[in-house]
Amino acid sequence: MFGEKAIELIRELHRASDGQLPAFNEDGIRQVLEEMKALYEQNQADVNEAKSGHSELISTIKFRHCSLLRNRRCIVAYLYDRLLRIRALRWEYGSVLPNAVRFHMSAEEMEWFNQYKKSLATYMRSIGGGEGLDLTQDIKPPKSLYIEVRCLKDYGEFEIDDGTIILLKKNSQHFLPRWKCEQLIRQGILEHVLS
């Protein structure tokens, strides 16, 4: 049945829950494009035939055209949904993506990601006319100025403002200003301790 491969692509994304990015299905895309090429060529041939009198082919042509449109729609949906997931990664992980994720991205998606990063950075720097504002911080409303965090992995030295350095060793606990910890909490180095 036409469009089967295309629907497979969609299903694959649907199965990957929670915004996870599965590996780029280059094979799948290629197969759909091939199917489209085949359909198109068949249609080309039939159109010529129909023009010379075989009007019973018109429904077949129409049918193939619908399949072509459907295939295209699936492909574009697949690509677009992946872009949305990749965009979410910028907001969650920061500008450096973890390796596991990068392996699942195609070269073009990487390019899109880099462009997006740049656009976003330019925009954020332009806010307010001064130094700009980092919109990837302050994701949650601030409850308190300082929070207690626990170090989950050995990280080494970490500099907070005015030059003071903190040594982050596994299982040490620290009471620090909230905004300094946000980045490390998102990276999984620190864990917010609620007691």
Read off the DSSP letter of residue 159.
E
CB of 17 to another protein, least distance (A): 21
Rounded distance, CA 136 to CA 145, Å?
18
Output 16 or 112, the one with its CB closest to another protein: 112
Output 40 or 103, the one with its CB closest to another protein: 40
Read off the DSSP letter of residue 144.
-
CB of 168 to another protein, least distance (A): 9
Give strand pairing partners of 168: 156
Output the six-digit token pair for 59: 């429904």
Q: What does the binding site for another protein look like in residue numbers (CB under 8 A)?
A: 29, 33, 36-37, 40, 68-69, 72-73, 75-76, 79-80, 83, 87, 106, 108-109, 111-112, 115-116, 119-120, 122-123, 126-130, 133, 135, 137-142, 144-146, 148, 150, 164-167, 169-179, 194-195
Output the six-digit token pair for 95: 């500008």
CB of 173 to another protein, least distance (A): 4
Rounded distance, CA 168 to CA 84, Å?
34
